[in-house]
Every structure is written in C-alpha cells, then in structure tokens.
Structure 1
Amino acid sequence: MTIYNAPHQDAIFVLDQLVGLDQMAADYQLEDTSLELADVVIQEAGKLASDVLAPLNAQGDKQGAQLVDNKVVQTPGYAEAYQQYVENGWATLTGPVEFGGQGLPHVLGTAVNELWHSANMAFALCPMLSQGAVEALIAHGSDELQQRYLAQLISGEWAGTMNLTEPNAGSDLAAVACKATPDGEQYRIRGQKIFITWGDHQMTSNIIHLVLARLPDAPAGVKGISLFLVPKFLLDDQGQPGELNDVRCISLEHKLGIHASPTCTMSFGDNDGAIGYLIGEPNKGLNYMFTMMNHARQAVGLQGLSISERAYQQALAFAKERTQGTNKEGRKIAIIEYPDVRRMLMAMKSGCEAMRALAFTAAADIDRAHHGDQAAKARVEFFTPIVKGWMTELAQEVTSLNIQVHGGMGFVEETGAAQHYRDARILPIYEGTTGIQALDLVGRKTLSDNGAVLGQLLAEMQTDTQQLSLTGEPTLIAIATELEASLEVAQQVQDWLLTKASADRKLAGTISFDYLMMMGYLCGGWLMAKSALQASEQMSQDNRYGTPFLQGKQGTAQFFAEHYLPRARQHGQTILGGLTSTFALTIDQL
C-alpha cells in the first residue's frame, strides 16, 4: 500500500459506519454507488497521489510558478500530472451525468480529494477551484452558460477560478470596485483582483473566471454586487477557445508556502474591457458567490485534514527509523518507543481521524441536502464554519508536531516537514479567516435560529453518549464520561448565548472564536465516540476491518476524549466568563 493511500481503511470505515454510504445509495437510488466501489476508487486515487503528485510536491516548493512574458508558467511536471489526472477521469467524479460527469456522491469526491491535497496541496488547489466554479454555474448559471461552459469545466479540459478580493476589498466585499458596463448581451469588465489562486497557467486550453463586479446603476454595498463569467479566451462559433480576452496576470505573490500554486494579481480590461457574461440576476452576485465560497470553505477544511495526514505519516515513518539511546541490553531504541513521542503521534493520528469523520459527515449532509433533506441542509450550514475553522486551526498544531517529532531535523528544509507546516499556515486565512467563520457560526448559524440546529445536534450527541454508557465496556464508558462532561458545558454555553450574546453584538464577537473551537473539539469527540461504539459492534460479528484496526479505533477515540475533549470544556468556560478583559486596554495601551 502506498503511503499517501494509508488512511484508505479509515476512510472506508467512516463512509460505512458513520456516513452509511450503502444506505444513502439505496435511499436516493444511486445505482452506481456502493461501499465496494468507494474502496476501489480510493485505492486507485491513492496510486496517482503517491506515484505522480507526491513526487512533485517538494519540487514545487523549491521551484514555484513564475510569470514570464505576461504568462504564468507552472512548475515543471505539473502540466503532465494534470493531464494524467484529467485523462483518468478524476475531474468528472462528482459532476452531473448530463454534462459528462460520473454523478457520484459528493462525500466520495471528498474522500478522493483528501488524497490529492495530502500528496500535493499546491497542485490540488487548481481542480478544487474548478469544482467550485462548476457548483456555482449549476446553481445559478443560465441554460446557455451551462451548455457553453459546464462540460469542459467538469471534464477538466478547462479550469475555473474565483475572483473576489481587491486591493481595497478583502473580507469586506461591500468595497468591491470592479466595474461591469453593459455592451449588448455582454459586459465589459474593468478592475483588478488580488490573491487569485491559479489565476493563470498553461495547463488547460481555457480558464473560466467567476468575477464579482458592479453595474453602473448598482446600489452601494453588498446589495450592488453582480457575478460575471469571464473566460481567458473567448469562444468561437464552434465553442472552442479563440481570441484572447482582455484579462491577464500582472504579478505573482511571493508566499510563505504553496509556492507551486500561483497566487495572481489579475487585471481586467486594461484595453477595451474584458468581455464577461452575467450569471443570474443583477445585484445578486454575492449570494451566488456564496455557493462557490461554501464549497471552497469545506474544501479548505479538508485541506487541513489532508496536510495533517501527510505530516502524521511522515512523523510516524521517521519515529520508527530514528534511534535515540539504548536499552539495558545495549539495543538502540527507536524514538517511537518513548512516551512523549507516542503522545505526539497519538495526538496527530486521533486528530486526523476526528477531522476525517467530521469532513465526511458534513460532505454526506451536502449530498442529502441535494436530495431535498432540509434538516441535512441546515446541519451542513452549521458544520461548514466548524469544518473550515476548527480543522484548519488544528492543522497548525498537527503539522507543528511533525517538526517536533523530527527534532532538529524537522527545522531543516531537506526533510520536508517544514514545507507541510508552511503550506498549512494559509488554511486559517483564505476563504474567510477563522474569525469570520467564528462570527458566522455564532451569528448566522446559532443566534439567527435561536439555537435550533445547535439544540438538535446536542440532543443527538446526548443520545449517543447514553448508548456508550450502557455498553458496560470500560473504554466506552470512559469516553462517555469525558463526552458527557463536555456536553454539559456546551449546553450551558447554549443557554448563555441565547440569553446574553444575542443582546450584545460585541460580546458575541468576543467569544466567537472560543465557541467555534469548543464546537470543533465537541463534534470531533462525538464522532470519535460514535466510531468507538461502531467498532465495538463490528468486533462482535464478521467484519471487513479486522480486530487490530477496530481496537485502534477505540484507542484513538479514547485518546481524543482524554487529550482533546477537555479543550472543549476549557473553551466553554472561557465563553461563560464573557472575556470582558478583551477590551480592558485602550488602543494606546496595546
């Protein structure tokens, strides 16, 4: 088994025991979907990840994308890898069948995407953005735009991007100044966008930019933003890329990490204006763009898992090989035998398993929502900021632990541990910072519905906790005890939020980060507890996993309960204290 496919058994366990993939396929009449298919697909994806993408990762870090003669030239080997990715049909995995996709569930695509980002996050960002563009066009594009652009985006023949940020409009999209002037049935786009991931490259014959801009008569603020499709090359009468549009990359950012992923400053309309096409209705662009942004937020959360898994595998391999000291018989001891190293490896492994469980659970709710399940829609909206915020914050710790396990060698670039740490650092920032996710969770996802979805989630956790307690198994009872203590604090936080924070926006914003992190550790602990319970049931019958794996699931669940769940209580207690000291100093005193 290849190293970057190592988590495939855990992925199958989550798809089977937590997601219920076979039952989902039966419920929604997904005749081509099954757990057996998922097993084969994940293993095959692991081969491409390990054999093709992973070897390019360090090279991309050393030799990133370059801007040459007004064109972005990608890292050597990336174009060939992308073509192999496309030719093997990976880009079409979850796309609609009517546009050439395979129509497989989003949750299976999530399991596969984990492998791409583990192997080479800088590379995987390109198809990730294309998938987001596809989602936005499916949801909001006219029939004409769908017919002209979707098939090639889904096949991977063309790539997609998301153009939001401007020099004076970062998270505050109300300040977007890019202009769109009507020109018959099309528009002329003029303005500049910054931090555009894979904004230009030579790997595809066209790049489809989704761009936020303002019409001449648009109202001020976010209510006056429209969404436009702006192709790099205009299509000819046969629907093929023809004339170069008035859009180009004018600079590349020099970044801490993900060097092979070009982060572009894009200029639209330096000459006659870039030709663009309105998506949906005027002045509703921000709502439309949230379709793409929410897809990206879950995808970035998945990147947190992916880079953590890559770091864990590297740390595990190093700990098995690196010797330090001798035992009484004079035998050299591998550092994996030392308690503190074992603690770090368990923290990494249990953290990865919890993140995987949450990412797949949220992805499955997206599938259920697509089939009309309104409760699943509300749940995935609640999960999205947690997936994006908590998982990317935890990735900072896990990738840092990888360096610590390596000791001094981890601080040396040649080992590669530092690259994973640097690459991971962007994750809590782009597609909405952790602070923005936290505000979204406390405001739009909790206070706005008076805690309805939160209450349902906590009730479900309580039911599962009681099931654990009734098993009579010491390990499961110990997990239940930790989960019960965290749940009690979370329920206190729920009452506190609904009585105090709703009346004080500054207070809600002050405690929002701790609320997000509390819910992250709580959700992770809950899903790990469910995994331990399912593992126990599987051990009592014939199963596909084997006793060592199932015992391992219980072990990592217990470690998560002992090591991480107390953090949920700590964050909860911080919330209940109100954090009044946050504004204890004046600006001059800071």
Structure 2
Amino acid sequence: MANQYVDIDTLKFLLYKVHNLEEVLQQSKYEDYDKDSIELLLNSVKEFSDKELYPYFREMDENPAHFKDGEIVVHPQVRKYMKAGGEMGFISGGFPYEDGGMQLPSMVINASAFIQDAANNHLPGYIGLTVGSAELITHFGNKELNETYVPKMLEGTWGGTMCLTEPQAGSSLSDIITSATPDGDAYKIHGQKIFISGGDYQGAENIVHLVLARVKGAPAGTKGISLFVVPKNRPDKNGTLTPNDVQTVADFEKMGQRGYCTTHLFFGDKEDCKGWLVGEENKGLKYMFLMMNGARIAVGRGAAAIASAAYQASLNYANERAQGRKLTSTGKKDANEEQTLIINHPDVRRMLLLQKVVTEGSLSLVFLAAKYHDLSQSHADKEEREKYNLLLEIMTPVVKTYPSEMGRIAVDNGLQILGGYGFCSDYVLQQYFRDIRISALYEGTTGIQSQDLLGRKITMHNGKALQLLSEEITNSIKASMAHTALAPHAKKLAEKLELTQKVLKSLMGYAMKGDYERFLADATPFMEFFSNIVLGWVWLGIAEEAQNALLTGSKENSMEFYENKIHAMRFYFKYELPKTNGLAEILMDNQDLTVGTNETIFK
C-alpha cells in the first residue's frame, strides 16, 4: 500500500529542493519549524492516509452521501476524519498561534492535503471548507464571533461551508437575492442556496455557514452583498444549541465525488433564521474572495492529486498486463514469443509520460503558488511581500485551471491504457475519471478563471504582475542556459515568452478600442496557451534541480530518479509546449466567429 496513490519521493523533491521550503522556514513567522519536523509531519499524514483514507475510497463511491428523512447520510468515516482533522492539526495547521493554530506554512499544508486528496478525494473537502470558513471569521469577524465559533471548528466538532450559489445566480453573484433584515444584534436571513459542499451531514454537531446575502436598501450588483455567519444551530451564552431554521432540502447526486455531500439549503422558512454580520455591510464579496482564492488553489491541488493517483493505478496496470508482442527489426511480430507487458509499447509509454508530466508539473505549480502565498505573508521586506502577492494573483487562475483541465486529460489517458477494463467498474480508473470532472466547475468554471486571467490579472497594475512573472521565467531560463543539456530547452522557452508578447499585443488591440467582449471572447484558448508556457517553465525548473543533483552526486535520490525528471521535461517540451503555436494562431486570427455570430447559426 506504500505507493499506490502518491509518489512521496517526488513530492518531497519538489517541496524541499525544487521550491526550497527552507527559504520559507527561514522567515521569522515559521522559525519554529525545520525540515526534520516537517518530515515527521508528512510521514504521519501518509501513514494516516494509508490506514484511514485510501481503504475507504471506492467504498464511499459505492455508498454515496444521500438525503434521507430530512438529513444527509454520509459514510461513517466522515465523522472519524473530522475528529482526526482536529486532533492531528489538519484543520488548525495554517492558523496563527493566537487563533489556536499551528502556524504552518502553506507549502506544508498543501503537501499534507495533497497526500490526503490523492488517498481519498471524497473526504478532504469537509475539512477544507471548515478551514476556509474559520479563516473568514478570524480575518473579518468580531471578537464574539471568533470566540463562539472558531475553537469548535478548529477541533473538528463543527463543520463550515461557503454559501454563494442560488438557483437564479450561479457564477453571476450580482444576482443574489437571499435577504438579511436587521433584527437587534443579528439579522433575519431568508433565501436558498444550492450546490453547498459539506452543507449538512451526520456526525457534525453543528455546521457554520458563511452566507452571502443582501441587506434591504443595499446597492445593486456585487457592491450590495454582505457576509453573515449563519449556524445550523445557534449557540447561546452557555453553549446550548438551538435549531436556527436552516433546512436541508436535498442532496445533489453527483457523477463523481459521491462521498462528498452537496446540499440544497433553505434559510428562514419559519422566519426564525438568524445571521451575524461579518465585518461591514456591503463588503461580503470582498471578504469571501479571501476564501475563494484559497479554495481555487485547493481545487487545483485536488485535481492534481486525483490525476496523480490515477497515474499510479495506470502505471501499476501497465507493469502487470501482458498484451501483444514487440515489433522485430523486420517490422513484424513473432507469434512464438511470449506476450510483452503493455508498458513496453511506445504508445502506452507516451500516455504514461503524459500523465507523469501533467501530474508532477501540476503539483510543482501548486507548491509554487503556496510559496508565493507564504512569502507574501511573511517576508520581512514590504516590497518583496507585494511582489509575491502579485505573483500569487496572476498564478491563482492558472493553478486552479491547468490541473483541472489537463488532469482530466491525463486521467482519460490512464483509462485508455487499461483498454476495455478502464471502462468497467472493476477497475478504479473510471472512478478517478468521474471524480476529477467536477474540478473544472468548482469555485468558478474554466471560462471564469480564463476571463479573470486575461481580463484582470494580466492587466492589473498596468501589467506589473505579468512583468514580475516574466522576470521569474527569464531568471530560470538564464540559470538553465548554464547547463549544456538544458540550454536548447531554455532557448525554446525564451521563444515562447516572445510569442506571448505577440499574442497579447494582438489581443490588447481590442481592449484599447473598447471592444472588451471581443478581447475576452477567446480567454479560454488564451488560458491554455499561457498555462502551457508556465508549465514549460515549471518543468525546466524541475530539470535544472535534477541536473544540479546529478552534477553534485546527490544521494538523496537515485541517479535514475533525477535522469527520469530530465527525461520528463524533454517529453513535455516535445509533446506539449509546441501546442502553443497552434493556439497562438487561433488567438491572433482576427475573424470574429462567436461575438458577432447570429444565433440562427445554432439551428
């Protein structure tokens, strides 16, 4: 069971070497930790995941969460996981000491969560949303809200959610109509929310909902949205819980992640639902984005973890399944020879390598974003903090989207490796394929992330974030040029940076004319183009560290381990990076085939 769902050696190589966790641990905020203590933590998480998460992965799919007699029935392991989450610090890990947390770096939190996601992606969401909800309260809530709710949430006794979506307002949050009416020191909440992950379930004594709603008379659109703490059961001064008129209407039966409940909630059916304002009125969406940005990185991490587990399953199958024979020098097969393992077929190797470069590249991307977050919070120099914050801003939509979209393609290739068996429930690939599909929808669809990248992050502060990212990539290119084996690939990446400038010059022409709809019409192809180049940079960095390890004779991993990383980088640069040329052609083509198209074309 030691390596059925995650490659721990690669995880640690990326964490410690490629992204140099030590640089973060040197910041005063994290000075209580060193590599040895982090190593103990990650090993304990792996051991826990082996015993309490991975063995229940398929069982939770076969016995999904469901609505029965007014409540959500979930697998018993959910209760056990929440309890362990409190005891082992999975919930409190990232919180500062003064809030009762462990003050761990985001890089470590994400490494721990990746292991858990890969072991059983149905469970970590329950903890992730509890973390996000508690974070919002600690950042923006008053002392009373903090004292009332946060301790119970950090210990895993109470769960937490984020409640944004309504039947008439999916991604368009400006159309939210859930109302909040002043009522003494609280507000009366009335409305409904759908697609609420972890919205209600057996085993949690209480659920603390963070709800977006409108106070009467608030400005229209997103400027009039406020944020409220709305518990399922409201506690009095003695801690006694009273039902708060939050009704669970149903649980959505999903294609994948079936052990992770997704509820439909109604607030105030009996006019007795109370909520407490977080921060100031009409600033709710601004507050919620603190949680949403973290959640978007978590979605990308989760997708990378699912793809990682699928890769391990595919690799295991390819090393066991005998099928066909290798071609001889005459171009024919010798029927007298024994069948060969399918891993010896070039096309299977191509699909495995695609899985490898997507999954390992995605995990590296997650650690990079986590490092930017850590340094934006802890660096002693203010200008450096601002720099890393801008880098985090521009990377967030990419970190959410690339693992979600390319992870799905990676899992699809894994399913293909299994042939007909991949389509059967006897094997786990079909479950990974179903589970990962939600990632491109969670926390803002791919289209929304793409518009955020092109429309906001690329242009923010007059392109400052893009400039900083370009400088980071250029520095990596210069460092790689020092290695003869890497120089050709560094040169190719430099050419892609120049291509990016050409593409952006072409697209910005529409924005400068005020034609913003046309400017953003091809935001999704731009996301694919941009992400592909970013992953080329990520892989060049992995290869550079592997090359350094070979040159210094590092014994932390085998020579084969490092050589395999360099080989994977070469694969990425041959099979994936060139796709940017076709995407650039699409993006610079001035034909308008979507915005100005008559709707009759679809008939």
TM-score range, shorter chain: over 0.9
Is 2:349 aligned against 1:342?
A: yes
Q: Of 353, 359, 378, which aligns to 2:360?
A: 353
Aligned alpha-carbon RMSD (Å): 1.8
Provide the residue aligned with 2:519 in structure 1: 508
1:588, distance to aligned residue in structure 2 (A): 0.9
Could you tell me how far apart the structure 2 residues matched to 1:548 and 1:33 are? 31
Deviations 1:66-101 (Å, cap 9, x if unpaired)? 212211111243323433343333222212212221
Could you tell me how far apart the structure 1 residues matched to 2:477 and 2:257 are? 41
Q: Which amino acid aligns with 1:414?
A: D
Provide the residue aligned with 1:70 in structure 2: 70
Is 2:304 aligned against 1:305?
A: yes
1:135, distance to aligned residue in structure 2 (A): 2.2
Is contact 1:4-1:50 (8 Å) kept?
no
Provide the residue aligned with 1:110 in structure 2: 110
Could you tell me how far apart the structure 1 residues matched to 2:479 and 2:84 are? 47
SS in 2 for 1:251: strand
Is contact 2:226-2:282 (8 Å) kept?
yes
Could you tell me how far apart the structure 2 residues matched to 1:192 and 1:587 are? 33
Q: Which amino acid aligns with 1:59?
A: E
1:224, distance to aligned residue in structure 2 (A): 1.0
Is 2:391 aligned against 1:379?
A: yes
Is contact 1:535-1:553 (8 Å) kept?
yes
SS in 2 for 1:266: strand
SS in 1 for 2:324: strand
1:211, distance to aligned residue in structure 2 (A): 0.2
Q: Which amino acid aligns with 2:571?
A: F
1:444, distance to aligned residue in structure 2 (A): 1.2
Which consecutive residues of structure 2, in runs of 5 or more, have no partner in the other structure?
327-333
Provide the residue aligned with 1:478 in structure 2: 488
Is 2:523 aligned against 1:491?
A: no
Provide the residue aligned with 1:535 in structure 2: 546
Provide the residue aligned with 2:284 in structure 1: 285
Is contact 2:521-2:595 (8 Å) kept?
no
Q: Of 415, 427, 438, which aligns to 2:427?
A: 415
Could you tell me how far apart the structure 2 residues matched to 1:241 and 1:565 are? 59
1:4, distance to aligned residue in structure 2 (A): 4.9
Provide the residue aligned with 2:324 in structure 1: 325
SS in 2 for 1:122: coil
1:42, distance to aligned residue in structure 2 (A): 2.0
Q: Which amino acid aligns with 2:407?
A: A
Provide the residue aligned with 2:330 in structure 1: none
Is contact 1:180-1:214 (8 Å) kept?
yes
- Of the structure 1 ranges 10-19 and 366-375, higher mean CA displacement relative to structure 2 is found in 10-19
Provide the residue aligned with 1:450 in structure 2: 462
Deviations 1:361-383 (Å, cap 9, x if unpaired)? 00111111122501111110111
Aligned-pair identity in percent equals 32
Provide the residue aligned with 2:533 in structure 1: 522
Aligned pairs, how many?
587
Q: Which amino acid aligns with 2:362?
A: M
Q: Which amino acid aligns with 2:426?
A: E
Deviations 1:237-278 (Å, cap 9, x if unpaired)? 23x351111102111112111111111110101113311100
SS in 1 for 2:593: helix
Could you tell me how far apart the structure 2 residues matched to 1:502 and 1:574 are? 20
SS in 1 for 2:67: strand
Is contact 1:15-1:35 (8 Å) kept?
no
SS in 2 for 1:379: helix
Could you tell me how far apart the structure 2 residues matched to 1:408 and 1:37 are? 45
Deviations 1:36-60 (Å, cap 9, x if unpaired)? 3333322221222222112212111
Provide the residue aligned with 1:34 in structure 2: 34
1:326, distance to aligned residue in structure 2 (A): 4.1
- Of the structure 1 ranges 220-229 and 322-331, higher mean CA displacement relative to structure 2 is found in 322-331
Is 2:557 aligned against 1:558?
A: no
Provide the residue aligned with 1:296 in structure 2: 295
Q: Which amino acid aligns with 1:155?
A: E
Provide the residue aligned with 1:200 in structure 2: 200
Mapping for residues 101-250 of structure 1, pairs under 5 Å: 101-238=101-238, 240=239, 242-250=241-249
Could you tell me how far apart the structure 2 residues matched to 1:513 and 1:492 are? 17
Could you tell me how far apart the structure 1 residues matched to 2:590 and 2:474 are? 25
Q: Of 443, 446, 452, which aligns to 1:431?
A: 443
1:161, distance to aligned residue in structure 2 (A): 0.2
Which consecutive residues of structure 1, in runs of 5 or more, have no partner in the other structure?
none
Could you tell me how far apart the structure 2 residues matched to 1:455 and 1:99 are? 36
Provide closer, same or farther for how the CA distance between residues 146 and 398 of structure 1 changes in structure 2, counting only shifts above 3 A: same
Provide closer, same or farther for how the CA distance between residues 330 and 363 of structure 1 changes in structure 2, counting only shifts above 3 A: same
Deviations 1:202-226 (Å, cap 9, x if unpaired)? 2221111000111112122111110
1:452, distance to aligned residue in structure 2 (A): 2.0
SS in 2 for 1:414: coil
Could you tell me how far apart the structure 2 residues matched to 1:579 and 1:301 are? 33
1:113, distance to aligned residue in structure 2 (A): 0.9
Deviations 1:533-561 (Å, cap 9, x if unpaired)? 11111222253223121111111111111
Provide the residue aligned with 1:546 in structure 2: 558
1:110, distance to aligned residue in structure 2 (A): 0.6
1:173, distance to aligned residue in structure 2 (A): 0.8
Q: Which amino acid aligns with 1:302?
A: R
Q: Which amino acid aligns with 1:435?
A: G
Deviations 1:549-580 (Å, cap 9, x if unpaired)? 11111111111111111123332232122452
Q: Which amino acid aligns with 1:295?
A: G
Taking structure 1 as the reference length, the TM-score comes to: 0.96
- Of the structure 1 ranges 159-168 and 49-58, higher mean CA displacement relative to structure 2 is found in 49-58
Provide the residue aligned with 1:405 in structure 2: 417
Is contact 1:458-1:491 (8 Å) kept?
no
Is contact 2:86-2:154 (8 Å) kept?
no
Q: Which amino acid aligns with 2:397?
A: P
SS in 2 for 1:230: strand
Provide the residue aligned with 1:362 in structure 2: 369
Q: Of 438, 463, 469, which aligns to 2:481?
A: 469
Could you tell me how far apart the structure 1 residues matched to 2:539 and 2:590 are? 29
Is contact 2:387-2:468 (8 Å) kept?
no
Q: Which amino acid aligns with 2:374?
A: D
Could you tell me how far apart the structure 1 residues matched to 2:79 and 2:370 are? 29
Could you tell me how far apart the structure 2 residues matched to 1:426 and 1:298 are? 14
- Of the structure 1 ranges 119-128 and 572-581, higher mean CA displacement relative to structure 2 is found in 572-581
SS in 1 for 2:594: helix
Provide closer, same or farther for how the CA distance between residues 579 and 150 of structure 1 changes in structure 2, counting only shifts above 3 A: farther
Q: Which amino acid aligns with 1:99?
A: D
SS in 1 for 2:196: strand
Taking structure 2 as the reference length, the TM-score comes to: 0.94
Provide closer, same or farther for how the CA distance between residues 566 and 35 of structure 1 changes in structure 2, counting only shifts above 3 A: farther
SS in 2 for 1:324: coil
Provide the residue aligned with 1:390 in structure 2: 402
Is contact 1:169-1:175 (8 Å) kept?
yes
1:117, distance to aligned residue in structure 2 (A): 1.4
